Amino acid sequence: MRELRHLEEVVSATGGDDLLVWTAQRLPRGGARAWTLGEAVVVACPQVSKHDRLAVWGRAGDPSLAALVRQVWREMGTGYRPFGDREVIHRLVERMPGDLGPAGNFTWMTVDPGTVRPGAASPSPPYRGAGHESGAAGDRRCPSGPAPLLVGAAAGSCSSPTGPGSVDPRRPSAPEAAWLLDPGAGEEVARVLAVANPDAYARPGMPGISRWAGIRDAAGRLVTVGADAWSAPAVGFIGGVATLPEARGSGLAGVICRFLTGALLARHGRVSLMVDDVNAAALAVYRRLGYTRRLVAASRVPDA
């Protein structure tokens, strides 16, 4: 077993696989570690997308994967749960009876400049996340803050705070506008998630959540949210997407996802996310934006 101490080594060993590169987001410091044995590669990262994760990469059925996982567990502990391509994980579980059991199947989706569909372009001016300075960066004001993504008749200019075609700097001009939310909007976001997506992994205040975006209705009520969550330098990540039940069916999920996709593409070059296999509506939204689907699975250590 050889430890990979830098992200460039992970990229070289896996051909730049986005799932492994994303999991290696805190190499060489910050708790993430990576190893290779033969052609197999694993990356361990604590508390990324809620769990201590062990991304595995290699050929389905390769005995090196099981040997590598066992050695990594001796280094990191069995709390790191392997996940990766579905067939690879299923075969790994078969090779480790008693040590590893299935936890469930889900979908990993990724978009990059080569697959993104027209309309999923970056907002203008560019997204400003943590660490960027531009007055009150990230608020809903115009023109100093990031511009909204507007669709249909709501589309207008954010070049001036007043005048024909301009956007009122005090509030979104229409329910179809997606905006980066102020840092103090955490309680509002939490209320939306409690009703619309109580099982969401991304939550306000969690480590790794950079910023929240949202859509407000005509009365100013927050109805749709989504987060820049656990993004890696080379792979942006979206989480916590939710729309209140009474606002569903009007395309708002697509608007918020298009906004975040464009923003994170501009900043990271690739964007990924996880979604349940049975969530047909979400899968359709992401496919329309150009995301490609990858069938993956997670595993668990059986209870003693």
pLDDT tier for residue 141 given thresholds of 50, 70 and 90? very low
Mean pLDDT over 72-100 rounds to: 95
Between 33 and 145, the higher pLDDT residue: 33
pLDDT value for 121? 52
pLDDT value for 111? 97
pLDDT value for 170? 34
Q: Which amino acid is at 32?
A: A
Q: Under 8 Å CB-to-CB from 29, ≥6 apart: which residues?
A: none
Buried b (16+ CB within 10 A) or exposed e, 197-231: beebbbbbebebbbbbbbbbbeeeebbbbbbbbbb
Distance set, CA 32 to CA 5, 24, 236 (Å): 9, 6, 17
pLDDT value for 131? 32
Mean pLDDT over 134-143 rounds to: 30
pTM over 0.85: no
Mean pLDDT over 207-225 rounds to: 95
pLDDT value for 120? 61
Ranges of each domain in the chain:
2-109, 152-269
Between 119 and 133, the higher pLDDT residue: 119
pLDDT in tens, 89-119: 999 999 999 999 999 999 999 999 999 987 6
CATH assignment of 152-269, among 3.30.365.10, 3.40.190.80, 3.30.70.600, 3.40.630.30: 3.40.630.30
The answer to whether 257 and 226 have CB atoms below 8 angstroms apart is yes
Q: Which fold has domain 2-109?
A: Aminopeptidase (3.40.630)
Phi, psi of 69 (to 5 degrees): -60, -45
pLDDT in tens, 156-205: 222 222 222 223 333 444 446 899 999 999 999 999 999 999 999 999 99
- Scan for tokens 């060489």, then name that residue: 28
Beta bridge partners of 2: 36
The answer to whether 126 and 266 have CB atoms below 8 angstroms apart is yes
pLDDT value for 137? 28
Distance set, CA 187 to CA 176, 205, 219 (Å): 22, 10, 18
